[in-house]
Chain A
Amino acid sequence: MLMTQTRSAPVAAITEPSSVSVRDLRLSFGSVSVLSDLNLEIREGEFLVLLGPSGCGKSTLLNCIAGLLDISDGQIFIKGKNVTWEEPKDRGIGMVFQSYALYPQMTVKGNLSFGLKNAGLPRDEIERRIAQAAEILQIGPLLERRPAQLSGGQRQRVAIGRALVRDVDVFLFDEPLSNLDAKLRSELRVEIKRLHQRLANTMIYVTHDQIEALTLADRIAVMKNGVIQQLDAPQVIYNRPVNRYVAGFLGSPGMNFTDGEIALRDGAAFFTAPGMAVPLHKYRASKGTLQPGPAVFGMRPEHVALNAGADWPFSAQGPCEIVEPMGSDSLIWTQIGGQSFSVRVTSERAPQLGDIVSVGFDPINASIFDAASGERL
Chain B
Amino acid sequence: MNPQISSNPATLATTVAGMDAVADRVRPGVEAGPRGSRRRSALSTRNVVIYGVLSVVAIYYLIPLYVMVVTSLKGMPEIRLGNIFAPPMEITFEPWAKAWASACTGLNCDGLSRGFWNSVRITVPSTILSILIASINGYALANWRFKGGELFFTILIVGAFIPYQVMIYPIVIILREMGIYGTLTGLTIVHTIFGMPILTLLFRNYFASVPEELFKAARVDGAGFWGIYWKIMLPMSLPIFVVALILQVTGIWNDFLFGVVYTRPDTYPMTVQLNNIVNSVQGVKEYNVNMAATILTGLVPLVIYFVSGKLFVRGIAAGAVKG
A and B touch in the complex (CB under 8 A): yes
What distance in Å separates the Cβ of B237 from its nearest Cβ neighbour in chain A? 10
Give the size category of A's interface with B: 20 to 34
Q: Is B208 an interface position by the 8 A CB rule?
A: no
- Do residues A66 and B220 form an inter-chain contact, with CB atoms below 8 A? yes
Q: Do residues B231 and A174 form an inter-chain contact, with CB atoms below 8 A?
A: no
Q: How far is the CA of A101 from the CA of B220 in the complex (A)?
A: 12
Write the A60-103 contact mask toward B (1 if CB under 8 angstroms, else 0). 00010011100000000000000000011100011101111111
Tell me if B218 and A94 are in contact (CB < 8 A).
Answer: no
The 9 closest A-B pairs by CB, nearest first: A115-B221, A89-B222, A118-B222, A101-B213, A97-B213, A101-B217, A105-B235, A101-B214, A88-B220
| Contact yes or no, B220 A103, CB < 8 A | no
Query: Cβ of B316: which chain A residues have Cβ within 8 Å of it?
Result: none
A162 partner residues in chain B, CB cutoff 8 A: 217, 221
Cα A104 to Cα B213 in complex, Å, equals 13
Chain A residue with Cβ nearest B215: A101
A314 and B223 alpha carbons, distance in the complex (Å): 63
Contact A89 B221 (CB under 8 A): yes
Q: Could you name 10 residue pairs across A and B whose Cβ atoms are closer than 8 Å?
A: A63-B216, A68-B219, A89-B219, A89-B220, A89-B221, A93-B220, A97-B213, A97-B216, A102-B214, A103-B232
Q: Are A114 and B231 in contact (CB under 8 A)?
A: yes
Contact indicator B217/A95 (Cβ below 8 Å):
yes
Given A114-B231, A118-B227: A103 in contact with B214 (beta carbons within 8 A)? yes
Kindly state whether residue A119 has any CB partner on chain B within 8 Å.
yes
B211 within 8 A of partner (CB)? yes
Q: Mark B254-298, 1 if CB is under 8 A from A, else 0.
A: 000000000000000000000000000000000000000000000
Contacts of A68 in B (CB 8 A): 216, 219-220
Q: Please provide the chain A residues from 246 to 283 with a CB less than 8 Å away from any CB of chain B in the complex.
A: none
Is residue B22 contacting chain A, with contact meaning CB distance below 8 A?
Answer: no
> How many residue pairs bridge A and B at CB < 8 Å?
64
**CB of B300 within 8 Å of the partner chain:** no
| Any A CB within 8 A of the CB of B236 | yes
Q: Are B213 and A99 in contact (CB under 8 A)?
A: yes
Q: Whole-angstrom distance from the CB of A65 to the nearest CB of chain B?
A: 11
Q: Which residues from 159 to 198 on chain A have a C-beta closer than 8 Å to any C-beta of chain B?
A: 159, 162, 166, 174
Q: How far is the CA of A88 from the CA of B211 in the complex (A)?
A: 18
Nearest-CB distance from B92 to chain A (Å)? 52
A176 to B216, CA, bound (A): 14
Contact: B216 with A103, CB < 8 Å?
A: no
Whether B220 contacts A115 by the Cβ 8 Å rule is: yes
| A69 vs chain B, min Cβ distance (A) | 10
* Most A-side CB within 10 Å, residue of B217, B223, B231, B236: B217
Whether B219 lies near A87 (C-beta < 8 A) is yes
Q: Residues on A close to B: CB < 8 A? A: 63, 66-68, 87-89, 93-95, 97-105, 114-115, 118-119, 159, 162, 166, 174
Q: A129 → chain B, closest Cβ, in Å?
A: 13
The smallest beta-carbon distance between A236 and chain B, in angstroms, is: 32
Task: Tell me whether A118 and B216 are in contact (CB under 8 A).
Answer: no
Q: Are A103 and B219 interface neighbours, CB within 8 A?
A: no
A104 to B235, CA, bound (A): 9
Cross-chain contact B222 with A115 (CB below 8 angstroms): yes
Across-interface contacts of A104 in B (CB, < 8 A): 236
Chain B 222-242: CB-based contact to A (< 8 A → 1; otherwise 0): 110001000110011000000
Q: Which residues of A contact B222 (CB under 8 A)?
A: 87-89, 115, 118-119
Compute how far the CA of A101 lies from the CA of B218 in the bound complex, rounded to whole angstroms: 9
Q: Which of B213, B214, B221, B236 contacts A118 (CB 8 A)?
A: B221
Contacts of A87 in B (CB 8 A): 219, 222
The reply to whether A99 and B211 form a contact with Cβ atoms under 8 Å apart is yes
Chain B residue contacts of A114, Cβ below 8 A:
218, 221, 223, 231
Distance between Cα atoms of A118 and B222 in the complex (Å) = 6
A174 and B213 within 8 A (CB): yes
Of the candidates A97, A103, A166, the one having the most CB atoms from chain B within 10 angstroms of its own CB is A103
Complex contacts, A66 vs chain B, CB 8 Å: 216, 220
Q: How far is the CA of A84 from the CA of B221 in the complex (A)?
A: 18
Question: Which chain A positions have C-beta within 8 A of B227?
Answer: 118
Q: Which residue of A lies closest to B214 (CB)?
A: A101
Distance between Cα atoms of A68 and B218 in the complex (Å): 11
Task: Provide the bound-state CA to CA distance between A23 and B220, in Å.
Answer: 22
A147, B274: Cα distance in complex, Å: 51
Interchain CB contact under 8 A, A118 and B223: yes
Question: Which residues from B are CB-within-8-Å of A159?
Answer: 217
Give the residues from 182 to 233 in chain B that come closer than 8 angstroms, CB to CB, to chain A: 211, 213-214, 216-223, 227, 231-232
CB distance from A179 to the nearest CB of B (A): 11
Given A103-B231, A162-B217, A166-B221, 11 other A-B contacts at CB below 8 A? A68-B220, A88-B219, A88-B220, A88-B222, A89-B222, A98-B213, A99-B213, A105-B236, A115-B223, A118-B221, A159-B217
Q: Quick one: which of B220, B223, B232 contacts A95, CB cutoff 8 A? A: B220
A104 vs B221: C-alpha distance in the bound complex, in angstroms? 15
Q: Which residues of B contact A88 (CB under 8 A)?
A: 216, 219-220, 222
Chain A positions within 8 Å of B220 at CB level: 66, 68, 88-89, 93-95, 115
Tell me, rounded to whole Å, the shortest Cβ–Cβ distance linking A27 to chain B: 15
Minimum CB–CB distance for A67 against chain B, Å: 8
Q: Please name all residues of chain B whose beta carbon is closer than 8 Å to the beta carbon of A93 when the two chains form the complex.
A: 220
State how many angstroms separate the Cβ of A116 from the closest Cβ of chain B.
8
Q: Smallest Cβ distance from B218 to chain A, in angstroms?
A: 7
Smallest beta-carbon distance A48→chain B, Å? 19
A100 surroundings in chain B (CB, below 8 A): 213
Query: Measured between C-beta atoms, what is the minimum distance from A91 to chain B in Å?
Result: 8
Given contacts A115-B222, A118-B223, A119-B222, contact A97 B235 (CB under 8 A): no
Q: Tell me the complex Cα distance, A63–B235, Å.
A: 26
The minimal Cβ–Cβ distance linking A77 to chain B, given in whole angstroms, is 18
Residues in chain B near residue A95, CB distance under 8 A: 216-217, 220
CA distance A161 to B219 in the complex (A): 16
Q: In the complex, what distance in Å separates the CA atom of A68 from the CA atom of B143?
A: 12
Q: How far is the CB of B144 from chain A (nearest CB, A)?
A: 12
Residues of B within 8 A of A67 (CB): 219
The CA of A115 and the CA of B214, in the complex, are separated in Å by: 13
Min distance, Cβ A323 to any Cβ of chain B, angstroms:
37
